[in-house]
Amino acid sequence: MTPMLLLIRPAGSNDRLANSAQSFGWPVMESPMTEIQAVDGGSESRQLAMSLDRVDHVIFISQHAVLTGLPRLSQFWPQWPLHLNWYAVGPQTATALLSEGISNVNFPEESGSAGLLALPSLMSPQGSTILIVKGADGLDDLATTLAQRKASVECMTTYRRVPVIPEEFEDRPGGYVIPAYNSMVLPVLKTVLAKVPVQRQVLVALSDRIAKKATAIGFQKVLISQNVGQDAVVASIKDARDWLTKTG
């Protein structure tokens, strides 16, 4: 049997990858193992939003950051400060900003903090103020590097991921290929794959950090995507499918 692509991101976040996989004729199963919950940052978050006119660059690290963060900012700014430079972590997040009427969005072709940090305007940000709108577990290395480059960096946390535990998956001869975009989901994933032999599970980790945590809890075959961009993830999925087909 052919390997099954198991998509576990929150509902609404899997569509683009699912469509790409189906265009290749790959079977796809969607079973979200996290959901997004907006968080109230309290007075600190409100103060950051009210001070948007003092910010030079505002960075959104995901579509969820746009959906939960932009309304929080717009409560205080029916018209955006004209000098603001807007950034998205990648094309999908940029599309989310564009759909909200923000047209001058800067974003890297390859999604991720490395791509953002390579943008000319963020390579030498010394003396500027940067607001990062993010989730509770999002891209701490981005803030650290920008601060090392002598920028003043503030972070506004607007959402968190909450685990969702589905029923256990049945073993299947073709096995499963599972892209993992964050490490929080790994223990849940390990539990629901208990009936599936480890040699029929291939994890596609979206970072070295996720790969190390996956290996530590018992995943035996872990591939690391070159980056979080769609093309790189699809290429890693193809490699995982090829491995399962050869070893199955």
pTM of the model: 0.85
> Structural domain boundaries of the chain?
4-33+164-247, 37-161
CATH class of 4-33+164-247: alpha beta
* 8 Å CB contact between 163 and 74: no
What stretches of the chain adopt beta strand conformation (E)?
Answer: 4-7, 28-30, 34-38, 57-60, 85-88, 105-106, 129-135, 152-163, 176-180, 201-205, 222-224
Rounded-to-integer distance, Cα 183 and Cα 106, Å:
28
Given this chain, do its domains 4-33+164-247 and 37-161 carry the same CATH topology? yes
Rounded-to-integer distance, Cα 140 and Cα 240, Å:
29
Angle formed at CA 3 by CA 2 and CA 4, multiple of 5 degrees:
120
| Number of Cβ within a 10 Å radius of residue 80 | 16
Per-residue pLDDT of the chain (248 residues; tens, 9 = 90+): 799 999 999 988 899 899 999 999 999 999 999 999 999 878 999 999 999 999 999 999 999 999 999 999 999 999 999 999 999 999 889 999 999 999 899 999 878 888 999 999 999 999 999 999 999 876 678 999 999 999 999 999 999 999 999 999 999 999 999 999 989 999 999 999 999 999 999 999 998 989 999 999 999 999 999 888 888 899 999 999 999 999 86
25-28 long-range contacts (CB < 8 A, ≥24 apart) are: 26/2, 26/237, 26/241, 27/2, 27/3, 28/4
- The domain defined by 37-161 folds into Rossmann fold (3.40.50)
Q: Pairing state of beta strands 57-60 and 4-7?
A: unpaired
Can you give the pLDDT at residue 92?
86
**For tokens 């576990």, what's the residue?**
8
Distance of CA 220 to the CA centre of its chain: 23
